[in-house]
Amino acid sequence: MDILAVGSVAFDSVETPFGKAEEVLGGSAAYFSASASYFADVGIVAVVGEDFPDEHIGTLKGRGIDTRGLKKVKGKTFRWRGRYDYDLNQAHTLETQMNVFSDFKPMIPEDYREAPFVFLANIDPELQMEVLTQVRKPRLVACDTMNFWIEGKPGFLRKLLKKVELLVINEAEVRELAGEPGLVKAAKKVLEYGPKTLIVKRGEYGAVMFNGRSIFSAPAYPLEDIFDPTGAGDSFAGGLIGYLANTNDLSDGNIRKAIIFGSVMASFNVEAFSLRRLISLTADDIESRYGEFKRLTHFEDI
């Protein structure tokens, strides 16, 4: 196994200006794993309730994801309800039901513990920390979080960040975490909390990497049709970490390429609700959009 991913597996109900989806498969770990599965072997650690259909587990297995760490327990699956207005960069959370996540204690299967890459997808930072106490010397620990936890569990989050090398969060979250409105200053401050590299997700404006030595900025793919931005951040992280695990190269130059693969995967994900687009890609689709990104950003001195 190359990547151990912990996070939410959920029923999402989403409304965008272009349509609606009720109780569809979602969750940070589901999006992340589906995306990363095109690049590397992924094992998922999460919990679902008795109401979670085997068909969804089959969808994840169909991508070659190891689901032995996905536990089904008594109770209801985690639910998230959100709305996007015309500003598709801004998710408005209408409801979060923790359900079976309320008393979930992640138990990492023995052979997942050696995974060289660990991704702590968006979930309670206390659970993210518990995962770290069970793994053995990973090459890279990366993590995501959101305003819900920055506001709800700031102490745990700051403790966790000391143990994380790569933090991948949204622009507004960087500003909130640092308590600083300017992005460059806020990024500097967040790097002082522990991570060596910070990747800031900026929705349809792309992503920016800060590591204290250099700054790298990548655009998002200019899509004509965006249906649902849910999971864009997690599929971005899936492409990013998937590519890093595939190449086993953490140099600055390779992280830049990985950011482009992350952007490629996020661009596919937003083309349909739930994981629909993300589970039906081919290697050619990914390569060809990567090529388009190269052309999109290429320029020469004249």
Please report, as ranges, the residues that interact with ligand AMP according to CB under 6 A: 8, 10, 12, 26-28, 31, 80, 96, 122-123, 146, 148, 230-234
- The residue (of 116 and 236) whose beta carbon lies closer to ligand AMP is 236
Q: How far is the CB of 111 from ligand AMP (least distance, A)?
A: 25
**SS3 state at 5:** strand
Angle between helices 54-62 and 28-36 (to 10 degrees): 30
- The residue (of 106 and 231) whose beta carbon lies closer to ligand AMP is 231
- The residue (of 138 and 229) whose beta carbon lies closer to ligand AMP is 229
**SS3 state at 106:** coil
Q: How far is the CB of 60 from ligand AMP (least distance, A)?
A: 13
Angle between helices 183-192 and 171-178 (to 10 degrees): 60
CA distances (Å), origin 55, targets 10, 49, 59, 77, 245: 14, 14, 6, 14, 28
Q: How far is the CB of 72 from ligand AMP (least distance, A)?
A: 17
- The residue (of 102 and 248) whose beta carbon lies closer to ligand AMP is 102
Q: How far is the CB of 137 from ligand AMP (least distance, A)?
A: 26
CA torsion, points 156, 161, 167, 171, in degrees to nearest 10? 60
* DSSP-assigned beta bridge partners for residue 29: none
Q: How far is the CB of 31 from ligand AMP (least distance, A)?
A: 6
What are the φ/ψ torsions at residue 60 (nearest 5 degrees)?
A: -70, -45
- CB 89 within 8 Å of CB 19: no
- The residue (of 104 and 243) whose beta carbon lies closer to ligand AMP is 104
- The residue (of 141 and 232) whose beta carbon lies closer to ligand AMP is 232
**SS3 state at 85:** coil
Q: How far is the CB of 183 from ligand AMP (least distance, A)?
A: 18
Report the phi/psi class of residue 86: left, alpha or beta, with left for phi > 0 and alpha for psi in -120 to 50: alpha
